[in-house]
Chain A
Amino acid sequence: MNRKRFYPVALLLLSLIVSSVPVGARPLPIRASQASSANQQTGTAEQTTDDKFVFGKVDQDLLSEINLLDERFEKDGAVYHEIGLDAYLNRVGTAVVAQKKLENVEWKFRVLRDPVPNAFALPNGSIYINTGLIALLDDENQLAAVIAHEITHVSRRHTYLRNRSLRKKILAINIINTVGTWNPVGGPVGIAIDLIASISPLMLALSVLGYSKDQEKEADLEGMKSATAAGFAPDGMPNSFKAMQRDVEGEQFNSFYSDHPKLQERVTYTSSTIPADAKKPSEDDAKTARDDYLALMESVDRHNVDLAINEARFRSAVYVSQKLVALHPDSSENVFYLAESYRTLGPRNAKLNNEQLTSGAKKKATKTRSKRTLEEIDAELLKTPAGQEAWKANSAESEKLFLRSLELNRFNARAHRGLGMLYERLNRKQEAASEYAKYLELAPNAIDTERVRRRLAVLRESMN
């Protein structure tokens, strides 16, 4: 091969080789004194533990940005605060952390105001659990498992490793693109270079994402170990995945690529690691654990219902409110939340049916949501017999529940407001105006007084 042909080919191959070796398989900068003892303990040279992670400039830069991001979440009102809840999360988190002290890590356990069921960890030790996930979980063991999973991401420095890997791969993609663009070679070799140059960025991009699947599995299995060591039930991890499998909004479908292993797969491999002789709680104990957890999370769950409604996750709002009412059926507040959820559900069915749960239907619904506004989707649904039927049923259920909420506490101002909004939508103007007036009388200083006052004024004007 002459020189003209050799350089592009060599450069291409070199970039591919360098970028395709996973970071974990290459030696990381290791403190010499620590390397041997770490290896003796783990028995592997590749395993990356906190002991042998050495911060480079790239990692320090990432850390300082992450610290700023952490502050921004707080400033932007994304973090939910409640004294009892903060203390509780800290207690569970600290138990799982088990005095792990890591360089540049300060453990913080926080609730993120987001109705999407998710949790994530920042490499500085801030663990965020969305209100949507808290509402979906059933007990403390599952919560501990989720926290333990995220703690493993931090303690194994997954973010830093992924960032390092990503940087190398992106550099390789840039080099490959350059070689492909300026490939001076003609003939079959030239065609081959062009082909490699056009395919390899995609392959590298996929390998960047694929690397994360291993980290997720490691976080699942290691997290399970730490949660169990802290005294939580080992089935917390598989049960947390089972809880996440409740596809209330119809969002889980097979996409071309997902960075997490499939939930069923995770249930299987985590369940298989539970020792056969592990103690199983009795039915009664399990119920008590569920009720205790729900009671602790009652106010977060209510907050999550508000968030879910704000973000048009109406089915989730109904699901969580139903749990709240099942916990305290005589709580006027909880009944109010269920009533409000049914009111906002409008022409949708509360639970997705089998037809709506097919992958094709879910994809179609996602596409519709991305193209149409909420008002347009509601109008389209109302044109269908099923939408009409759901609207009638939901309105009736909502009215019944608002009235029940007022029966339990006649001073529940928000139930009056909800009834007002429902009646307004049902064109029962007189009753709507009366409910709004009662709301304003009971809650003259509420945050939405101006909004309700305006609605009342418009109603009265239309009645005259």
Chain B
Amino acid sequence: MRLRVRFVLIVLCCMFAHHHATEAKAQYLNPKIKEKKVTIRSAVILPAKVEIVKESAKGAEMMVAESADISNKTVEAVGQALQKKKISVVTNSFEPAALDDARKYTLADIQSRYDALLPKLTSKSKDVKKARFTLGDEVMLLNAPKDADVLVFIRGAGRMFTKGKTAFSIINIFSMDFPFAQITVGFVDARSGEVLAFTKPLSASKVLKDQKSLNKMIESSLKKLPAATP
């Protein structure tokens, strides 16, 4: 009897896990975008921060180089998704190597302003629809190209499991411990600093290894973002 109950629970857990492992496409638009008071025609993508860790049965390990690599790939994926919406994209104007100390510091400060807002954005994403969030006009300190409408902030976290950890997670199915990747993309008005759109797709960790899956995930997560009209 006891084992039969466990079997049912396992099946339920598998269904729950499968549901959550598939892409969750949460997208939130500021009324200004929805009501077409603001149209995004040009975007500046800031350096992304996607942190991934390798988890074994003995705990998590940093993957600094891989994190940098996946960050660049995510910038690429977001860029491609925006271009498909006829939004022109600038990706390399904030390459750290090309910046002097003062500009590097300014970029870091704006990034940390966004990082401070991110927990609220993530937990109360629906409030983007109420135009609740802003970074302030300090974003103009970045001196982005004059025609830029938005700054794009990309953040993410992901876990990759070793074989040992995978075995443990299957055996301990009740602990709901699975590899995943969550990427958030925030579109911030390049002049006022207002958050105009926010998306937080969640996916299985395969997107961390496969560029095509990543592109697909990002593209579908930006589905609601209106295309630029001439």
A455 interface residue (CB < 8 Å to B) = yes
Shortest distance from the beta carbon of B195 to any chain A beta carbon, whole Å? 10
A113 interface residue (CB < 8 Å to B) = yes
* Contact among B62, B109, B171, B173 for A65, CB-based, below 8 A: B62
Q: Which residue of chain B has its CB nearest to the CB of A182?
A: B171
* Beta-carbon contacts under 8 Å, B83-138 to A: 96-97, 99, 101-109, 111-113, 116-117, 119-120, 132-134, 137-138
The reply to whether B140 and A174 contact each other, CB–CB distance below 8 Å, is no
The reply to whether B102 and A455 contact each other, CB–CB distance below 8 Å, is no
The reply to whether B96 and A77 contact each other, CB–CB distance below 8 Å, is yes
The reply to whether A77 and B107 contact each other, CB–CB distance below 8 Å, is yes
Shortest distance from the beta carbon of B175 to any chain A beta carbon, whole Å? 6
A72 partner residues in chain B, CB cutoff 8 A: 64, 68
A162 to B117, CA, bound (A): 32
The reply to whether B140 and A451 contact each other, CB–CB distance below 8 Å, is yes
The reply to whether B58 and A170 contact each other, CB–CB distance below 8 Å, is yes
The reply to whether B172 and A174 contact each other, CB–CB distance below 8 Å, is yes
Contact residues on A (Cβ < 8 Å of other chain), bracket:
35 or more
* Contact among B137, B143, B171 for A447, CB-based, below 8 A: B143
B2 partner residues in chain A, CB cutoff 8 A: 186
* Contact among B3, B59, B108 for A167, CB-based, below 8 A: B59
Contact residues on B (Cβ < 8 Å of other chain), bracket:
35 or more
B47 partner residues in chain A, CB cutoff 8 A: 76
The reply to whether A373 and B59 contact each other, CB–CB distance below 8 Å, is no
A334 to B156, CA, bound (A): 39
Shortest distance from the beta carbon of B96 to any chain A beta carbon, whole Å? 5
* Beta-carbon contacts under 8 Å, A440-463 to B: 447-448, 450-451, 454-455
A68 interface residue (CB < 8 Å to B) = yes
A75 to B120, CA, bound (A): 27
Q: Which residue of chain A has its CB nearest to the CB of B55?
A: A170
Shortest distance from the beta carbon of A36 to any chain B beta carbon, whole Å? 32
* Beta-carbon contacts under 8 Å, B43-86 to A: 47, 57-59, 61-65, 68
A370 partner residues in chain B, CB cutoff 8 A: 119-120
Query: Quick one: CB contact mask for A416-428 with B, threshold 8 Å, 1 for yes?
Result: 0000000000000
With A170-B57, A371-B120, A447-B102 known as contacts, the answer to whether A69 contacts B62 (CB < 8 A) is yes
A307 partner residues in chain B, CB cutoff 8 A: 109
The reply to whether A171 and B58 contact each other, CB–CB distance below 8 Å, is yes
* Contact among B3, B59, B106 for A170, CB-based, below 8 A: B59
A310 interface residue (CB < 8 Å to B) = yes
A282 to B143, CA, bound (A): 52
Shortest distance from the beta carbon of A81 to any chain B beta carbon, whole Å? 6
* Beta-carbon contacts under 8 Å, A110-141 to B: 113
Q: Which residue of chain A has its CB nearest to the CB of B111?
A: A76
B109 partner residues in chain A, CB cutoff 8 A: 306-307, 310
* Beta-carbon contacts under 8 Å, A67-120 to B: 68-69, 72, 75-78, 80-81, 113
* Contact among A76, A170, A373, A451 for B117, CB-based, below 8 A: A373
The reply to whether A375 and B96 contact each other, CB–CB distance below 8 Å, is no
Q: Which residue of chain B has its CB nearest to the CB of A169?
A: B59
B11 partner residues in chain A, CB cutoff 8 A: none
* Contact among A81, A181, A448 for B171, CB-based, below 8 A: A181
Shortest distance from the beta carbon of B153 to any chain A beta carbon, whole Å? 14
A39 to B104, CA, bound (A): 49
Q: Which residue of chain A has its CB nearest to the CB of B137?
A: A451
Of listed A168, A306, A451, residue having the most chain B CB within 10 A: A451
A178 to B141, CA, bound (A): 53
Shortest distance from the beta carbon of A44 to any chain B beta carbon, whole Å? 28
A311 interface residue (CB < 8 Å to B) = yes
Q: Which residue of chain A has its CB nearest to the CB of B165?
A: A174
B104 partner residues in chain A, CB cutoff 8 A: 76-77
The reply to whether B132 and A373 contact each other, CB–CB distance below 8 Å, is yes
Sampled A-B contacts (8; CB under 8 Å): A68-B64, A76-B96, A77-B99, A77-B107, A113-B105, A307-B109, A373-B120, A373-B134
Beyond A69-B62, A373-B132, 17 extra complex contacts between A and B, CB < 8 Å:
A62-B62, A72-B68, A77-B105, A113-B105, A166-B59, A170-B58, A171-B58, A171-B59, A174-B172, A181-B175, A310-B112, A311-B113, A370-B120, A373-B117, A373-B120, A447-B141, A451-B137
Closest 4 CB pairs of A and B: A77-B104, A77-B108, A68-B64, A451-B140
